[in-house]
A and B are shown apart, each in its own frame.
Chain A
Amino acid sequence: MNMIEVTINNKKISVPEGITILDAAKSAGIEIPTLCYHTDQSVKANCRVCIVEVEGMKTLPSACSTAVRNGMAIHTNSAKVLEARRVIIEMILANHDADCLKCHRNLSCELQNIANQAGVRTNRFENVLEFKEIDDSSPSIVRNPNKCIKCGRCVEMCREVQGINIIEKIGRSSELEIIPAFGRYLSDVACVSCGQCSTVCPVAAIYEKEDIDKVWDAINDPGKHVIVQTAPAVRVSIGEEFGMEPGSIVTGKLVAALRRLGFDRVFDTNFTADLTIIEEGNELLHRLKTGGVLPMLTSCSPGWINFIEQYYPELLPHVSTCKSPQQMFGALAKSYYAEKTGIPVKDIFVVSIMPCTAKKYEAKRPEMRVDGIHPDVDVVLTTRELGRILKQAGIDFNILEEEKYDDPFGITTGAAVIFGASGGVMEAALRTVYEIVTGKTLDKLDFHNVRGMGGIKEAEVDLGGTKVKVAVAHSLLNARKILELIKSGKCEYTFIEVMCCPGGCIGGGGQPYHTTNELRRKRIEAIYEADRHIPIRKSHENPAVQALYDEYLEKPLGEKSHHLLHTYYTDKKKKDCS
């Protein structure tokens, strides 16, 4: 790596050749403000906020897209730069619905940050915004075109990472907007509700549908018995909403916080994650034994299910019929739990805290009502919403003392917690399937091959003589590759885990803002760290799960399991899917 010398704001520094002015300045302790820039995405350089002055250049180049050269003299705060930056920000604001006080992104908005940093006190431009309808047709995602700054981060995420391209830059000049084809509602196009777009939007142009008030209403309704379940990924992420280091494991505080909010019972989705492994492991073995449809595909990621229903419905027979842990929990809550406690189903209100926006869609699926009337899961709050409701309640998360989950859904395993990371479901399943098939104890519980951020990961497992190939895919671009492989007839895998979001659930659409690949890695590390500290690490060794089968379900894939814990899928292909 060649080192060269550049001067930034009259200070000489030594930097690697070829890095951008933005990175060079950062290394010298200067944060050049950016807006459309995102570390995980291609350099767009369209907002023009990060422009700097370079001696000898006529124009003001953007720092994010310009490489340094030996001897370059850069000024990040010259009068020309400061004025230009203000004009640009004012222009953006002149085409923006700046109702910050009521805005979803108040205090977490990147436009607010740079306007504040640039010292914008007035706007020399008249507001030219033409109000357009807010699209809240989807149960998961809301689009507000009046806030869009046209950075295109959402388009890149949807098109390049998820491979779907639901939204695009449409039109030209000041008519440019980022919308689905023909300006359709999100519910009318093949959006999968993954919410990845909302994780990269710098403002409130795309965000998760907020269901906080429904939770308050339930908690404050004396007639309702409100219970909450928490996804594996939440316990390594919610701390970020309160300034903790990414990857802080805060399970105990999470439980305490939920109790302070007023939930009647605090349960763990990890319990039903263990249950999922039992059911799904047995389903896999059943298919292997009886020549069922293989490869089998996991089914706990609702964004992924939405994807296959809308884009590859012909391959639905491959998908496991197991519900997701969230939905298994809801089903049990409105049957087993209701019976056990004697509380009428209509009075039980189930809230789930999920890293996921597609879970909101999943909870509303008409087939997810075990009594045919009441939804098994009433409301889904994303991790971001949990952060918000806790702040609304004035709860100081940092000083909470650790508490434990309630019984009967409080005992869980390491196999359950790793569901939060891509490869986790596969690893959990292998830990159980191996022991069921071989009858032997698995010594090495860590299947490193299926962990990490690699797009498609493979492993080969020796199940007592039979070698079984498995694969793990995350992000829908990779999911599509797997499905095309299956269609081509060349697929050698027996069992495939698919997660809709990059990195798995810890990278979900509802996770704390400014999720980057680096943050995903930290959360993944925490997930496996949590796994190592939990005494029971295999799902089938969970005594509470065993008790549930003894007491109620009888056996895996039995009649009760079939009715409560399994589901079916629907061909939802719209004509416009490519």
Chain B
Amino acid sequence: MLLETINKESRKSENILNALLEYQKSKDTNHISEEELAQLAEELGITESRAYSIITFYSLFSTRPRGKYIIQVCNDVPCYVNGSTNILEELEDYLEIRVGGTTHDGVFSLERTSCLGCCNMSPAIRIGEKVYGSLTKDDIPRIISEYRRKYHEEI
């Protein structure tokens, strides 16, 4: 039972989206594979097509393995006019990956995201469940190191 790996609260209600999100979150690769989706669909009592239609519709899901920490860079107008492109470029250079990619060590994935609702702290990025705002290029190495440290502590 794959659903048993997520907390009881998430399984209690009929909240299918939440169950899938929680399951994905529980994985270091932040994705749901084909086999897992088939299994989850059966446990949730929905067809595999419906489950697949859900995870391909919502941006937070991925069917391909990603890093443990997903870095989402907001690229909408309020962040854009405050230099989000610089931050994105800095991240690409520092992590040595392009947007959409994952670092070799599987620690980070870099993605663009729609407005995070943090325009008062633009430019903003979201890593995992935390938002970092009012960023400059110089903030990037420090933030990345924090996560690298965290990653090594947890393994």
* Distance between Cα atoms of A169 and B47 in the complex (Å): 13
Residues of B within 8 Å of A159, CB to CB, are: 47
Residues of B within 8 Å of A578, CB to CB, are: 41-42, 45-48
Q: Does B86 contact A (CB under 8 A)?
A: no
Residues facing B in A486-509 (CB within 8 A) are none
Please, what's the 1-or-0 string for B33-65, where 1 marks a CB less than 8 Å from any CB in chain A?
A: 010011001100111111111001100000100
The answer to whether A181 touches B57, judged by C-beta atoms less than 8 angstroms apart, is no
Stretch at the interface among A160-168, A200-208, A344-352: A160-168
Instruction: State how many angstroms separate the Cβ of B129 from the closest Cβ of chain A.
Output: 23
Residues of A within 8 Å of B53, CB to CB, are: 168-170
Residues of A within 8 Å of B57, CB to CB, are: 170-172
Q: Does A180 contact B (CB under 8 A)?
A: yes
The answer to whether B52 touches A170, judged by C-beta atoms less than 8 angstroms apart, is yes
The answer to whether A170 touches B38, judged by C-beta atoms less than 8 angstroms apart, is no
Q: Does A576 contact B (CB under 8 A)?
A: yes
Residues of A within 8 Å of B34, CB to CB, are: 182
Please, what's the 1-or-0 string for A147-176, where 1 marks a CB less than 8 Å from any CB in chain B?
A: 000000000000100001111111110000
The answer to whether A168 touches B52, judged by C-beta atoms less than 8 angstroms apart, is yes
Q: Does A340 contact B (CB under 8 A)?
A: no
Instruction: State how many angstroms separate the Cβ of B42 from the closest Cβ of chain A.
Output: 6
The answer to whether A576 touches B56, judged by C-beta atoms less than 8 angstroms apart, is no
Q: Which residue of A167, A169, A171, A576 contacts B41 across the interface (Cβ within 8 Å)? A: A576
Q: Which residue of B37, B38, B45, B49 contacts A167 across the interface (Cβ within 8 Å)? A: B49
The answer to whether A165 touches B49, judged by C-beta atoms less than 8 angstroms apart, is yes
Q: Does A575 contact B (CB under 8 A)?
A: yes
The answer to whether A165 touches B38, judged by C-beta atoms less than 8 angstroms apart, is no
Residues of B within 8 Å of A171, CB to CB, are: 56-57
* Distance between Cα atoms of A170 and B45 in the complex (Å): 19
Instruction: State how many angstroms separate the Cβ of A132 from the closest Cβ of chain B.
Output: 15
Residues of B within 8 Å of A169, CB to CB, are: 53
The answer to whether B50 touches A168, judged by C-beta atoms less than 8 angstroms apart, is yes
Residues of A within 8 Å of B52, CB to CB, are: 168, 170, 181-182
The answer to whether B56 touches A172, judged by C-beta atoms less than 8 angstroms apart, is yes
Considering only CB atoms and an 8 Å cut-off, how many residues of chain A contact the other chain?
Answer: 16
* Distance between Cα atoms of A229 and B47 in the complex (Å): 38
Instruction: State how many angstroms separate the Cβ of B121 from the closest Cβ of chain A.
Output: 28
Q: Which residue of B lies closest to A170 (CB)?
A: B56
* Distance between Cα atoms of A182 and B56 in the complex (Å): 10
Q: Which residue of B41, B42, B49 contacts A180 across the interface (Cβ within 8 Å)? A: B49
User: Quick one: which of B38, B42, B46 has the most chain A CB within 10 A?
Assistant: B38
Please, what's the 1-or-0 string for A544-578, where 1 marks a CB less than 8 Å from any CB in chain B?
A: 00000000000000000000000000000001101
Q: Which residue of B lies closest to A175 (CB)?
A: B56
The answer to whether A575 touches B38, judged by C-beta atoms less than 8 angstroms apart, is yes
Q: Which residue of A lies closest to B46 (CB)?
A: A578
Instruction: State how many angstroms separate the Cβ of B98 from the closest Cβ of chain A.
Output: 20
* Distance between Cα atoms of A575 and B38 in the complex (Å): 7
Please, what's the 1-or-0 string for A294-318, where 1 marks a CB less than 8 Å from any CB in chain B?
A: 0000000000000000000000000
Residues of A within 8 Å of B46, CB to CB, are: 578
The answer to whether B50 touches A165, judged by C-beta atoms less than 8 angstroms apart, is yes
Instruction: State how many angstroms separate the Cβ of A482 from the closest Cβ of chain B.
Output: 20
Instruction: State how many angstroms separate the Cβ of B11 from the closest Cβ of chain A.
Output: 18
Instruction: State how many angstroms separate the Cβ of A162 from the closest Cβ of chain B.
Output: 12
Q: Which residue of B lies closest to A158 (CB)?
A: B49
Residues of A within 8 Å of B48, CB to CB, are: 181, 576, 578
Residues of B within 8 Å of A181, CB to CB, are: 37, 48-49, 51-52
The answer to whether B38 touches A168, judged by C-beta atoms less than 8 angstroms apart, is no
Instruction: State how many angstroms separate the Cβ of A151 from the closest Cβ of chain B.
Output: 16
* Distance between Cα atoms of A454 and B130 in the complex (Å): 56
Q: Which residue of B lies closest to A173 (CB)?
A: B57
User: Quick one: which of B38, B41, B45, B49 has the most chain A CB within 10 A?
Assistant: B49
Instruction: State how many angstroms separate the Cβ of A158 from the closest Cβ of chain B.
Output: 9
User: Quick one: which of A167, A171, A181, A182 has the most chain B CB within 10 A?
Assistant: A181
Residues of A within 8 Å of B47, CB to CB, are: 159, 164-165, 168, 578
User: Quick one: which of A164, A167, A168, A172 has the most chain B CB within 10 A?
Assistant: A168
Residues of B within 8 Å of A170, CB to CB, are: 52-53, 56-57
Residues of B within 8 Å of A182, CB to CB, are: 34, 52, 63
Q: Which residue of A lies closest to B34 (CB)?
A: A182
* Distance between Cα atoms of A576 and B49 in the complex (Å): 9
* Distance between Cα atoms of A165 and B56 in the complex (Å): 16
Residues of B within 8 Å of A164, CB to CB, are: 47
Q: Which residue of B lies closest to A155 (CB)?
A: B49
User: Quick one: which of B42, B45, B51, B52 has the most chain A CB within 10 A?
Assistant: B52
Instruction: State how many angstroms separate the Cβ of B40 from the closest Cβ of chain A.
Output: 11
Instruction: State how many angstroms separate the Cβ of A165 from the closest Cβ of chain B.
Output: 4
* Distance between Cα atoms of A578 and B48 in the complex (Å): 7
* Distance between Cα atoms of A166 and B50 in the complex (Å): 9
* Distance between Cα atoms of A159 and B50 in the complex (Å): 10
* Distance between Cα atoms of A181 and B51 in the complex (Å): 8
Instruction: State how many angstroms separate the Cβ of B63 from the closest Cβ of chain A.
Output: 8
* Distance between Cα atoms of A167 and B49 in the complex (Å): 7
Residues of A within 8 Å of B45, CB to CB, are: 578
* Distance between Cα atoms of A576 and B37 in the complex (Å): 9
* Distance between Cα atoms of A180 and B52 in the complex (Å): 9
* Distance between Cα atoms of A575 and B48 in the complex (Å): 10
Residues of B within 8 Å of A172, CB to CB, are: 56-57
* Distance between Cα atoms of A576 and B56 in the complex (Å): 17
* Distance between Cα atoms of A486 and B49 in the complex (Å): 26
Instruction: State how many angstroms separate the Cβ of A145 from the closest Cβ of chain B.
Output: 15
Q: Can you list 11 A-B pairs, Cβ within 8 angstroms, ordered by A?
A: A159-B47, A166-B49, A168-B49, A168-B50, A168-B52, A170-B52, A170-B56, A181-B51, A182-B63, A578-B41, A578-B42
Besides A159-B47, A182-B52, 8 other A-B contacts (C-beta < 8 A): A168-B50, A168-B52, A181-B37, A181-B49, A181-B52, A576-B41, A578-B41, A578-B46
A residues sitting closer than 8 Å to B (CB atoms) are: 159, 164-172, 180-182, 575-576, 578
Leading 9 A-B pairs by shortest Cβ distance: A168-B49, A181-B52, A165-B47, A576-B48, A168-B53, A181-B48, A576-B38, A578-B47, A181-B49
